[in-house]
Amino acid sequence: MTIKYIGSKRLLLPHIEGLVESLGTIKSSADLFTGTTRVARMLKRRGQFVHANDILAHGEVLGRAAIATDARDVNPATLEELLKDLDATPPEPGYFTQTFCRDARYVHPDNGARIDAIRARIESELTDEPLRCLALSSLLIAADRVDSTTGVQMAYLKSWAPRALKTLELKMPELIEGPGSVTRMDAAQCARSIGPVDLAYVDPPYNQHSYLGNYHVWETLLRGDQPESYGVANKRIDCKTRKSPWNSTRFIRPAFEELVDSIDARWMIVSFNDEGALTTGEITAILETRGSVRRVDIEHPRYVGARIGIHNPSGEKVGTIGRTRNIECLFLVESRG
């Protein structure tokens, strides 16, 4: 169970796991752009020590819960009791409800008032880890299940999505046995600071769409910082200034070169999509500075809009249908050391 996420490696996971399997014994790994932590969780379930990193707060919170928490340190009955108690918190509308449920309409105000009240209790009552991050992770996943968007927070639906009318419900987050760690920082900085690992997984953003802009509501919910917001989407004001080089056609190449240079790992698995700002040839050339490169291409049906075509209000097909399949590339690099 996790959040809806652009670029989540849900469909690619078996292919990534197959590659990992082929490498033999891997004891430690780093997922440097962890997002939903899907890949990091797969690695941890395989018994590795995993470090998860993302620049955004949701990656850190989901990572603290699923990766940095050792399931053996949590009493499931205590956690279940805590979530039940939090779930019963009386609604109390606050900043979240006003900003994201009334001024904008990402979540129904009835659920918004519950989110505000539960978030406030987590802040004041849960100062210790891992219970704090487990509760936050559960709240994030619960909020995502009742949102009213098409999946990103650039806009919200005109009328409430059916799921937005359901009642927010805190559920047990996934717990995995074993050690792990988490950071919230730039991936290259993280790679330099964690030291050597057997395997680094690299899944950066590959086009101009900013993850902060796409998931700004979750960033604000988890930071709890109540920032000034702007525009119809009511984005946090720092969406204007917190820019990632990975979203820039000009800066993505130096960012990728710096990252590849910073990683200290025998193996690297790099995900990229054939519609990204770097061509597969450019990626291969950069990776070859570190060792031998093997590429695996996986074809996927494209997002539903491209498959069903563009229709006018009377339901007739208009315009040209875009590509209906895209190719996800996995690059396996064995470092020369």
Q: Determine, following the binding rule CB under 6 A, whether residue 79 of this chain makes contact with ligand SAM.
A: no
Q: Determine, following the binding rule CB under 6 A, whether residue 141 of this chain makes contact with ligand SAM.
A: no
The crossing angle, in degrees rounded to 10, of helices 252-262 and 187-194 is 10
- Tell which positions 237-256 bind ligand SAM, by CB under 6 A: 244, 246
Query: Residues with Cβ < 8 Å from 11, sequence gap 6 or more?
Result: 300
Cα dihedral sign for 187, 189, 192, 194?
negative
Q: Determine, following the binding rule CB under 6 A, whether residue 205 of this chain makes contact with ligand SAM.
A: yes
* 3-state SS assignment for residue 194: helix
Determine phi and psi for 4, rounding to 5 degrees.
-70, 135
Q: Determine, following the binding rule CB under 6 A, whether residue 218 of this chain makes contact with ligand SAM.
A: no
Size of the site for ligand SAM (CB under 6 A): 22
Q: Determine, following the binding rule CB under 6 A, whether residue 272 of this chain makes contact with ligand SAM.
A: no
Q: Determine, following the binding rule CB under 6 A, whether residue 333 of this chain makes contact with ligand SAM.
A: no
Binding piece for ligand SAM, criterion CB under 6 A, among 5-13, 87-95, 151-159, 283-291? 5-13
Both tokens assigned to 152: 């990103």
- Classify residue 179 as exposed, middle or buried by CB count within 10 Å of its CB (0-12, 13-18, 19+): middle
Beta carbon of residue 153, minimum distance to ligand SAM (angstroms, whole number): 13
Tell which one of 5, 95, 100, 272 touches ligand SAM (CB under 6 A).
5
Q: Determine, following the binding rule CB under 6 A, whether residue 33 of this chain makes contact with ligand SAM.
A: yes
Distance CA 286, CA 273 (A): 16
Q: Determine, following the binding rule CB under 6 A, whether residue 328 of this chain makes contact with ligand SAM.
A: no
Q: Determine, following the binding rule CB under 6 A, whether residue 183 of this chain makes contact with ligand SAM.
A: no
Q: Determine, following the binding rule CB under 6 A, whether residue 186 of this chain makes contact with ligand SAM.
A: yes
Residue spans of beta strands (DSSP E) within the chain: 28-31, 49-53, 180-183, 197-202, 229-230, 235-236, 265-273, 291-301, 310-311, 317-318, 325-335
Q: Determine, following the binding rule CB under 6 A, whether residue 326 of this chain makes contact with ligand SAM.
A: no
Residues of the shown chain interacting with ligand SAM in the complex, contacts defined by CB under 6 A: 5, 7-9, 33-36, 38-39, 54-56, 59, 186-187, 203-205, 211, 244, 246
